[in-house]
Amino acid sequence: MYLIVGLGNPTREYEHTRHNAGFDAVDMLAEKWNIAVEEKKYKGLCGKGAAGGERVLLLKPQTYMNLSGESVRAAADFYKIDPDHIIVMYDDIDLDVGKLRVRAKGSAGGHNGIKNIIAHLGTQEFPRVRIGVGAKPDRMDLADYVLGRFSQVERGVMEDAFREAADAAEAIVEDGIDAAMNRFNRKK
């Protein structure tokens, strides 16, 4: 079984902000796989289904970003899912708007949601799909930037990025992390 997590913040005020890129990517995957992510469990919203011959659980933690690990750990413990079968999709300010980077493991890179997941899982060895939201402008507060919304032009680019992130998660499930990295980390 795979646990596929999209990071973000709950409530309408945060919908479609840069920090909720993971939620938007999971929503794209849920639509693609026809899975309703509506069940309230594991301190999040989740939905079960199948893809690539594997059972999958899609999860959107409702703990707010900085406590995402509580939700991920609760779901992983319940289903006894090893970290290498936990795929986390999230926003990354170190990548240009709409760019993706698939990784098998790594540090938090300053992302508080990932820091909390690493702390709760006790490892940084879990696959992730980083979704570029662009660097913050000079003299702008980081929190204001990531909690802000995309411009109309950026939003169009991000819709393609969410679709590609969903495809990357699907590739990890179906073909493995190495094949997914080879496919999605190529320069365009």
The residue segments making up the domain with residue 158 are 2-184
Is the predicted pLDDT of residue 187 greater than 80, yes or no? no
Q: What pLDDT score was predicted for residue 142?
A: 87
Number of folded domains that form the chain: 1
Is the predicted pLDDT of residue 7 greater than 90, yes or no? yes
Cα dihedral: 33, 34, 35, 36 (round 10): 150
What contacts 24+ positions apart, CB below 8 Å, involve 180-184? 180/102, 180/127, 181/102, 181/103, 181/104, 184/100, 184/101, 184/102, 184/129
pLDDT tens for 119-129 read 999 999 999 99
Beta-strand pair 86-92/2-6: parallel
pLDDT tens for 99-117 read 999 999 999 988 999 999 9
Q: Give CA angle at 86 (18, 186), nearest 5°.
A: 65
- Average pLDDT, whole number, for the chain? 94
Beta-strand pair 39-41/100-103: unpaired
CA dist 110 and 8 (Å) reads 15
19 is catalytic: yes
Q: What pLDDT score was predicted for residue 188?
A: 53
CA dist 64 and 55 (Å) reads 26
Query: Which position among 16, 19, 85, 120 bears the catalytic label?
Result: 19
pLDDT tens for 151-184 read 899 999 999 999 999 999 999 999 999 999 999 9
Check if the beta carbon of residue 68 is closer than 8 Å to that of residue 10: no
Is the predicted pLDDT of residue 10 greater than 80, yes or no? yes
Contacts of 19 (CB under 8 A, 6+ apart): 7, 8, 9, 65, 91, 133, 146, 147
Q: Report which secondary-structure segment, H or E, holds 3.
A: strand 2-6
84: domain CATH number? 3.40.50.1470
Rg (CA), the chain: 15
Q: What pLDDT score was predicted for residue 166?
A: 96
3-state secondary structure of 101: strand
Is the predicted pLDDT of residue 88 greater than 70, yes or no? yes
Residue 174's identity, in one-letter code, is: E
Q: What pLDDT score was predicted for residue 186?
A: 79
Percentage of residues in the chain with pLDDT exceeding 70? Answer: 99
Is the predicted pLDDT of residue 73 greater than 60, yes or no? yes
Q: pTM value?
A: 0.95
